[in-house]
Each structure stands twice: as C-alpha cells, then as structure tokens.
Amino acid sequence: MFRSLMPKDKHFFDLFDEISEKIVEGAEILCKMLDNGPDYGEPAKQLKTLENEADQIAHQIVAQLHRTFITPIDREDIFHLVNRLDDILDLTEGAASRIKLYQPKSVPEGAKALTRVLLESARSVKDMIHLLHNMKQSEKILKLTVEIKRLENEADIIRRSILSNLFRDEKDVFELIKWKDILEYIEKGTDRSDDVGNIVEGVVLENT
C-alpha cells in the first residue's frame, strides 16, 4: 500500500519512446541502404550516429534508475527493456556497417524483404512501447506482442530461404560469406524485438 502512494518517475517511458523512435529511423535507413546502393557510406554513417544517440539515452535511463526510489514498473524490467531496445539498433547498425565494409556485388533476392520485416517489427515495438504510458491499453499492447512474434518467425523463414538459395546458386564463396553474416544481423534484430515483446508482456501481466 505504501508503494502505491509514493510518486513514480514516469520519465522513463518518455526515454523509452525516444529510443524506439530511433530504432524505427535506423530500420528505415537500412531499407533505403539496400534499395539505393551501392553507395553505402552515408547511410552507414547516419546509422552509426543514431546508435550513438540511442546509447546516450540508454545511459541516461540507467543513471536515472539508480537515482529513482519508486519506479513506474519493476526496475529489473526497466534494465532489461533498455538493453534489449538498444540491442535492436546495435544489430541494425551492425548490418549496415558490414554492408559498407564488405561492399557486396549485388543484393540477393529476399534481402530487401527481410529488412522490411525488421522495419515492420521496429514500428510495432515503437507503438507497443508508447502504449506503456497507459496500462489500460493492455489489450492493444498484448496484440502487438503477438504481432512482433509473428514478424520474428517470418524473418527467420525469409533468412533461411535466402541462405538456401545462396548455397544453391551463389558461385562466389566470398559473397556467400558476406551475406550470411549480414543476414544474421538483420534477423537477430527481429529476435531482439521479440525479446522486448516478451518483457513488455510480463510487465503488462504484472501491472493489470
């Protein structure tokens, strides 16, 4: 009862919103990177800047967590949530930096579709995180966690299909190695989105 009467710092949710917006922006940049190549330098630079900005917000959240007596949700959930959100953008930037580094000769069929799934997942994460401001939106939040899980499964299927085609058709082993690495980073971004969904689902079930 005492806990329920204490003020809670809800600024955490605003900071989560800021990170999730940058996640969407990063996924959009990665999509354009594959659509508009092969000049990969500028979008990779933009994504690195975004990643650094998100890291600063993540540090701000952790610092505030240490200063706040009563948090709006469990402090362990806040810690895990900020780390998984940060991971999504880290992996997106990791894919971009490898595209810039490897300079692949062409984009395999399906790679753009996989990146668009990452973008859809990022947008769902953004919507879900924003709804955390109001736990009365629990039904909408839980529907988004299901959608994020569906997108994670779709991304896994697409990645496997691309790799299967590459192993069958790609004659240049170096191109195969390049794309195997790049695709793994993109698909892992959807994995981390699903991790965020799982954390949020737990938060909602504990607080409604």
Dist CA 101 CA 31 (whole Å)? 17
Residue 51 structure tokens: 């990643």
The CA distance from 145 to 84, in Å, is: 14
The answer to whether the CB of 128 falls within 8 A of the CB of 145 is: yes
pLDDT of residue 142: 96
- What is the domain-level CATH number for residue 159? 1.20.58.220
Tens of pLDDT along the chain (208 residues) come to 334 433 455 788 999 999 999 999 999 999 999 998 788 999 999 999 999 999 999 999 999 888 887 888 888 999 999 999 999 999 999 999 999 999 999 999 999 999 999 999 999 999 999 999 888 889 999 999 999 999 999 999 999 999 999 999 999 999 999 999 999 999 999 999 999 999 999 999 988 7
pLDDT at 8: 55
What confidence score (pLDDT) does residue 162 get?
97
Q: Residue 1: what pLDDT?
A: 35
As for how many domains the chain has, the answer is: 1
117: left (phi over 0), alpha (psi -120 to 50) or beta: alpha
Q: In which residue are the tokens 């990452």 written?
A: 118
The token pair at 96 is 């971009």
- Model pLDDT, residue 65: 86
Which pTM value belongs to this model? 0.92
Cβ atoms 155, 101 nearer than 8 A: no
Q: Which domain holds residue 32?
A: 2-207
